[in-house]
Amino acid sequence: MPNDKKLHIALFPWLAFGHMIPYLELAKLIAQKGHRISFISTPRNIDRLPKLPHNLAPLIDLVMLPLPHVDNLPDNAEATSDVPLDKVPYLKKAYDALQDSMTQFLQDSKPDWVLYDFVPYWLPGIARKLGIPNAFFSIFIAATLSYIGPKAYFSERKNPEDYASPPKWVPFPTTVACRFFEVMKIFNGGITSEESNVTDFYRFVEVMDGCDIMVVRSCMELEPEWLQLLEDLHRKPVIPVGQLPTTVHDSRDNETETWLWMKEWLDKQAKSSVVYVAFGSEAKPTQEELTEIALGLEQSKVPFFWVLRTRCGTVDTGLIELPEGFEERTKGQGVVCTSWAPQLKILAHDSVGGFLTHSGWSSVVEALQFERPLIILTFYADQGINAKLLEEKHIGYLIPRNEQDGSFTRDSVAKSLRLVIVEEEGKMYRDKAKEMKGLFGDKKSQDKYLDSFLDYLRTHRRLQN
């Protein structure tokens, strides 16, 4: 079969915008090369995806699989941002119930490849049975995947303590590991304690074990040692596909109106003076953390733009309050936005001089594609590993905190912000962020990774249709 025949690739992301957006970026890049994509999600998610460019829309088929009903999941909840954290396991349960419709889809459409996320641990087996080459496309970096480790070691780590240091299979010296308080959040936060006993760690090891190849949202220049380790651990091809810089701007209904007042405020600020504060689509600080963040911002005197969502979709996740008099006192200094914000547009604005982030990987990529230095405050999941990798490579600055319980003070927030954004002493962070644009926002480098990835898919496609 000639190698230049166009491919049909099915993409099946997890139901979180931090996952769907990079999957969509990959879809667009692949379609730009003339290949056909089936992008599979649930109806509500497909409806609220950013609009596709006209020239690519005919090549990207948006496939809607209705989400089966499960108890305890609110109506209309189809993404993690629609529900509080303790309901996410029910969303996973509903997602697992897509098994039959996904099988039917693959049987009917017979794509050349299917790429899936870490959640559908049942999919590699189905793809293999149907003879469809398949890949785990990870929006998590190789350091996170290596840290989780291969199936052979899965049963060795039972207690939280087992996860709070670099695992024994990492053959080089490193500081990259979850901190104790992050591990405790993973164990106690309801993220892994599902009714079915299917934990997130289990899902990861199953997809890594079952897939034909791993495709990782990363690049050799950032983490060569971790990409190599991942390949050594799993003895299968690990293909970095580049950082997939975000190109979509928020397309939600209120975008124009919301952006107008934001832009007006940002336009009034001095160049590179503002700290943009946001913790992604899921993380929400506790009351105690929120108070320290707020008072730290105030104390720093740095102009701030803070996205602080207190609701998840239609579900109120419990009221958290800003410190008394905070908004009055900081009136000339900053603004608090309580709705979804067009993050990419904000980060692209000239007045932004730093990003106080949870280090979700999309936020990291988006900041560095616009050369914004990172001040990092993690909450859970892969954020701790991302943060430690960025710290080890001198790319981001972690707010100092108690390693056991994760507590931090307003003082450390204020000092960290001033260091990275204002003071001469922190210039290295600003310089490093500029340097990183080449890895995180460079079209040529992205194209190089995409081409070798597509070459692999082309030479290893299914033989019969």
Judged by CB under 6 A, the stretch of 164-172, 224-232, 288-296, 358-366 that binds ligand UDP is 358-366
Q: For strand 274-278 and strand 304-307, is the pairing parallel, antiparallel, or unpaired?
A: parallel
The CA distances from residue 433 to 15, 126, 415, 420, in Å, are 30, 43, 19, 11
Q: Is 18 in the site for ligand UDP (CB under 6 A)?
A: yes
Element (DSSP H or E) covering residue 405: none
Of 433-462, binders to ligand UDP (CB under 6 A) are none
Cα–Cα distance between 369 and 350 in angstroms, integer?
13
Residue nearer to ligand UDP on the CB measure, 106 or 395 = 395
Q: Is 21 in the site for ligand UDP (CB under 6 A)?
A: yes
Q: Is 49 in the site for ligand UDP (CB under 6 A)?
A: no
Q: Is 341 in the site for ligand UDP (CB under 6 A)?
A: yes
Q: Is 374 in the site for ligand UDP (CB under 6 A)?
A: no
Binding marks (x or -) toward ligand UDP, 272..301, rule CB under 6 A? ------x-xxxx------------------
The CA distances from residue 316 to 72, 85, 310, 313, in Å, are 15, 12, 7, 8
Cα–Cα distance between 150 and 204 in angstroms, integer?
9
- Evaluated on CA atoms 15, 16, 21, 23, the torsion sign reads negative
CB of 287 to ligand UDP, least distance (A): 20
Element (DSSP H or E) covering residue 37: strand 36-41
**274 within 8 A of 375, measured Cβ to Cβ:** no
Cα–Cα distance between 355 and 240 in angstroms, integer?
26
Q: Is 384 in the site for ligand UDP (CB under 6 A)?
A: no
Q: Which residue is nearest to ligand UDP (CB)?
A: 18
Q: Is 343 in the site for ligand UDP (CB under 6 A)?
A: yes
Q: Is 362 in the site for ligand UDP (CB under 6 A)?
A: yes
DSSP 151: G
Binding marks (x or -) toward ligand UDP, 226..265, rule CB under 6 A? --------------------x---x---------------
CB of 42 to ligand UDP, least distance (A): 17
Residue nearer to ligand UDP on the CB measure, 139 or 233 = 139
Q: Would you state the structure tokens that stand for residue 165, as one six-digit string?
A: 């240091």
Residue nearer to ligand UDP on the CB measure, 38 or 386 = 386
Element (DSSP H or E) covering residue 335: strand 334-337
The CA distances from residue 380 to 76, 104, 182, 370, 399, in Å, are 25, 35, 5, 25, 15
- Evaluated on CA atoms 269, 274, 279, 281, the torsion sign reads positive
Q: Is 118 in the site for ligand UDP (CB under 6 A)?
A: no
CB of 7 to ligand UDP, least distance (A): 26
Among 17, 163, 204, 276, binds ligand UDP (CB under 6 A): 17
Q: Is 307 in the site for ligand UDP (CB under 6 A)?
A: yes
**How many C-beta atoms lie closer than 10 Å to residue 72's C-beta?**
14
Among 361, 370, 397, 453, binds ligand UDP (CB under 6 A): 361
Count residues contacting ligand UDP (CB under 6 A)? 22
Please give the residue ranges that form the binding site for ligand UDP (CB under 6 A): 16-18, 21, 246, 250, 278, 280-283, 307, 340-344, 360-363, 366
